[in-house]
Each structure stands twice: as C-alpha cells, then as structure tokens.
Amino acid sequence: MQKPEPFVQSDNIFSVSDASALLKTVVETAFPRIKIRGELSQITRATSGHVYMTIKDTNAAISLIIWRGTPIPFKLEDGLEVIITGRFTTYPARSNYQIIVSDIEMAGIGAILKMLEERKQKLAAEGLFDASKKKSLPRFPETIGVVTSPTGAAFQDIQNRLRERFPVKILLYPATVQGATAAKEVAAGIEYFNREKNVDVIIVARGGGALEDLLPFSEEIVVRAAAASKIPLISGVGHEPDWMLIDFAADVRAPTPTGAAEMVVPTKLSLVQELENLHHRLSSSFTTRLGNAKSRLDSVAIKNPKQFVMEQAQRIDDLTRTLNIIITGKMEAAKQKMNLFDNFKNTFKTKLSILNQSMIHLDQMLNSLSYKNVLQRGYAIVRDRDNKIISKKAENKVPETIEFADGILRLN
C-alpha cells in the first residue's frame, strides 16, 4: 500500500476542534466505502435501537455502529464471522475511529453452518422439534393456506400442482422470502392463519437458492411460530438437499414447494382407484357373507310343529322334576333345623334346673357360715363406740354394745 502525501504542513497550528474536524474529513474522504471481514464481539443494542459492536481478527479490532433501521438479515452473535460494508468516520468526543455499517453478511458457508447447528441444538433442547408434537395432515383438506411470495415460482408451482391433483381453495399470505424482513413476515403469516382458523393446513414455501438466501427460514421467530402452530404445517423450502430449521419444527417436511402440494392432497386418479378397490373389497365381502348365511340356512332342519310342541313339553317336565327335587331338599333342610331348635329348648331347660339347684346349695352354705348361727349357740359380739369388734382384753377399749342372737344391748 502506497504511503500518502502529508495533508497539512508541519508548522500549522490547529485548535483541538479544528484538528478533529480535519481528521474526520480526511478519514471519511479517504474511505467512503470499505468492506472488512472479521469476527464480531462485544455486541450491544442501545435503548435508542442502534447496535454497537467490534469486528476483530488476531491483531486488531475496529468499532462498528449499525444505525437503527438498517436491515440486519440474521441474528448477531459473538464469534460470528461476517463481512461488513460501510464507511470510516471518527468520533471526536472520544478521539477514536469507527465504521458506520450499511450492510452485513455472513462470511462463508462454514460460519453459517456453525451458527445453524448451535441454534438447532438450543431449540431442540427446548423441545421444539419433539416427534410427539407432530400433527397428522388432514385426508381431504378443503382450504390450504400458503405463506410465500406472491410473485415467486414457488406459489405458481403449488397452484399448478393442486389444480392438477385435487382442486381446493387456496388462501395466500404474501410474505417476503429473502432479506431482512422475511423472517418476521413468514412468522406473521403462520400466526395469522392460526388466529383466523380459516385453513385446514398451512404450507410455508420458497424456491431454491443459496444458503444465505434461505436463512430467514432458520430464524428463531419462524421456527417458534411453526412449532406453536395448532394447524398442521408443511415446510416446502428450497430443494431436496436444503435443510432449514423450520423443517425440524414443521409437522411434515417436503423436498420442494411442489412436493408440499403433492403431500397435502391426493390425485383424482388415486381416489378413483381407491374407490374402485374399496368397491371390489365390499362386493367380495358381501358375496362371501351372503354365501355363508345361505349355507347356515340350508343346514337348518325344519321341524314338525307337533314334534316341536312335544319337545317343549318334555323340557317343561324335566324342569318340573328338577324344581321338585330342589324344593324337597330345601324343606328337609328346614325341618332338620327345626328339630335342632326343639332339642336346644330341652337342653336349655335341663341346664337351667341344674343351675337353680346349685344356687340353692350355695345359699345353704352361706347360711351355715353366717355368724348369726354362732350367736344362736350362746355367743355374743362386743363392739366399741366406733362399731368395731373388741376381741381381746389387751385392746383396752370401752365396750359400747353387745350383740346377742335375739338383739343388741347398749351399755351407755
């Protein structure tokens, strides 16, 4: 790189403001547009909406500013390798230089794939790709919602294929499928159909393109909208080798927009063949069942009415004999129980008599042991004033009463 000539003379004297303004003019004039490749770091979004960050390599770093309203086609992340386009300027208040970014793109397929893989793992950990959440497509949808560009080939392909196979009503939600606003518009289309509930299935479609062009269909806002859809959703983005993150969140992934149209409705020819096969199976089944019924009917022997009556009479006789046996057995069992009850009454009377005699005997024994009988033989009981028996002279108690067999004598 050739060294430029000095811009000012060495003996000129400038004020700080003049020197800063001169430097700003020189820098902006020398670098009206520049492209730089490097790795992003220190990303900060201010409340004003402006984004401040740094682009760096192993030896240097440059401050970047993205003014609010500047399109950013993907999510900015630390460590992401990008190519920025912008112009150099200075910021006199801090005596530093910076680049005002007008455009930003990912640098190379490797950086994009690395970013997509990290995002895929994050969203998968949240359960957005779980197979258990996948919904089945309706067999015969009446209305199909399509989220795509109205001027793109994808929409024309879908219309043509549906018209060929099984004409249905189509509702288009027009959305940009490339660029900074594409992801928000596609997510808004999915949310619109879910909110209005005016379609039976949703197709999100875009034709093929470079990996960078398909990135809106891997943005988190699109993936989350697809995973949250209550209406079955088909992803028909790109071509067979192209896999975007919406493919993992959708209920069904189609290789192309045309393939999505083929998945959502059957062909008229296949329906006719299916109806013919069903008719054949029903006819065969009906013929087989009719033949079986005829065979069973032929095997039935028509009996003489008199013989039928005699057989029924015989059955009644058999039932009568069986009932007599059952009733006789029940009555015999009841009789045995009654006999047992009579025997119980006799046994009870006997035991009651024995118990009465035992009570008389006990009463006699109690009377014989009573102290009254001892008094009858001439003895007496001496008690003190507390009505306690005095049995010894040594107790030195004053007698209060003397009880004889015929009464009590009080001494005081």
Residue from 68, 3, 88, 78 nearest 42 by CA: 78
Backbone phi and psi for residue 328, each to the nearest 5 degrees, phi listed first: -60, -45
Cα 72 from Cα 103, distance rounded (Å): 8
Whole-angstrom Cα distance, residue 185 to residue 178?
10
Spatial distance between the Cα atoms of 47 and 59, rounded to a whole number of angstroms: 31
Closest listed residue to residue 23, CA positions, set 7, 43, 39, 44:
7
In whole numbers, what is the pLDDT of the chain averaged over residues? 83
**Which tokens hold the place of 35?**
């492209």
Per-residue pLDDT at 320 = 82
> Distance between CA 238 and CA 209 in Å, rounded?
7
The CATH number of the structural domain formed by 16-106 is 2.40.50.140
Q: What is the pLDDT of residue 9?
A: 66
Q: Which residues contact 386 (CB under 8 A, 6 or more apart)?
A: none
Low-confidence ranges of the chain (pLDDT < 50): none
pTM beyond 0.75: no
Q: Which residues lie closer than 8 Å to 22 by C-beta, 6 or more apart?
A: 7, 8, 14
| In CATH, 114-130+140-268 is 3.40.50.261 | yes
Which pLDDT value is given to residue 297? 64
Which of these, 202, 107, 191, lies nearest to 145 by C-alpha position? 202
